[in-house]
Amino acid sequence: MAATIKDIAKRTGLGLATISSYLNGGNVREKNRILIEAAIEELHFEVNEVARGLKTNQTKTIGVVIPELNNVFCAEIITGIEDIMRNHGYALVICDCRTDGIRECDAVEFLYRKRVDGLINMPVNQDGRHLKSFMDAGRPIVLIDRKLNGVDCDCVLVDNLEAAKQAVNIFLQNGHTRIGMIGGPADIFTGQERLMGYRLGLLEAGIIPEERLIALGDYTIRGGVRCMKELLERNPDMTAVFVANYEMTMGAVIGLNEMGIHMGPDISMIGFDNGEFARACKPKLMIVSQPTREIAQNVAHLMLERLKECGQQGKPSGGYRSRIVKLATCMTEGKSVQSLAKVERLDSFRTLETLRKKD
For 65-90, what is each residue's pLDDT tens digit? 999 888 889 999 999 999 999 998 89
- What is the torsional sign of CA 205, 206, 212, 217? positive
Cα angle, residue 85 at apex, residues 83 and 91 outer, rounded to 5°: 100
CA 35 to chain centre: 45
Residue 315 has pLDDT above 60, yes or no: no
Contact 80, 300 (CB under 8 A): yes
Residue 150 pLDDT class (50, 70, 90 cuts): confident
Q: Of 164 and 20, which is predicted with more confidence? A: 164
Closest CA to 269 of 139, 182, 352, 185: 182
pLDDT the model gives residue 309: 86
- For position 169, what pLDDT does the model report? 98
pLDDT confidence of residue 1: 64
Whole-number average pLDDT of the chain: 89
* Per-residue CA distances from 269 to 147, 172, 205, 338 (Å): 28, 12, 19, 9
Angle between helices 5-12 and 30-43 (to 10 degrees): 120
User: What value does the mean pLDDT take over residues 35-48?
Assistant: 83
What is the average pLDDT across 318-334? 87
pLDDT at 310: 77
Strand order from edge to edge, sheet including 91-96: 91-96, 61-66, 118-121, 141-144, 154-158, 324-327
Between these two residues, 165 and 138, which has the higher pLDDT value? Answer: 165
Query: Does the pLDDT value for residue 125 go beyond 70?
Result: yes
Does 27 or 137 have the greater pLDDT score?
Answer: 137
Checking if the pLDDT of 180 tops 80, the result is: yes
Per-residue pLDDT at 317: 41
Pairwise pLDDT comparison (243 vs 350), residue with the higher score: 243
> Average pLDDT, stretch 182-187?
94
Q: Rounded distance, CA 54 to CA 48, Å? A: 10
Per-residue pLDDT at 346 = 44
- Looking at residue 69, its pLDDT comes to 85
| pLDDT for the residue 143 | 97
As a whole number of angstroms, the distance between CA 164 and CA 176 comes to: 15
Contact at 8 Å (CB) between 47 and 23? yes
How much of the chain, in percent, has pLDDT values that exceed 70?
A: 88
Of the candidates 311, 325, 323, 322, the one whose C-alpha atom is nearest the C-alpha of residue 137 is 311
Comparing 94 with 68, which gets the higher pLDDT?
94
**CB 327 within 8 Å of CB 159:** yes
Would you call 151 helix, strand, or coil by DSSP?
coil
Identify the pLDDT of residue 313: 42
Cα-based distances in Å from 167 to 29, 51, 216, 337, 342: 57, 54, 17, 10, 19
Q: Which amino acid is at 58?
A: Q
Would the pLDDT of 242 be above 50? yes
Which ranges constitute the DSSP H helices of the chain? Answer: 5-12, 16-23, 30-43, 49-56, 72-87, 101-113, 132-137, 160-173, 189-204, 221-234, 246-259, 275-280, 292-309, 340-358
CA 268 – CA 171 distance, rounded (Å): 8
Q: Is the pLDDT of residue 316 over 90?
A: no
Judged against a pLDDT cut of 90, whether residue 149 lies above it is answered with no
Per-residue pLDDT for 347 more than 50?
no
Is the predicted pLDDT of residue 331 greater than 60, yes or no? yes
How confident is the model at residue 48, as a pLDDT? 60
pLDDT at 28: 84
* Mean pLDDT of the 173-181 span: 97
- pLDDT at 314 exceeding the cut of 60: no
Three-state secondary structure along 278-341?
Answer: HHHCCCCCEEEECCHHHHHHHHHHHHHHHHHHECCCCCECCCCCCCEEEECCEEECCCCCCCHH
- Residues in the chain, overall count: 359
Least confident segment among 123-127, 197-201, 231-235? 123-127
Q: Which DSSP string do the residues of 261-284 spell out, in sequence order?
A: --BTTTBEEEEES-HHHHHHSSSP
Give the integer Cα–Cα distance in Å for 317 and 310.
Answer: 6
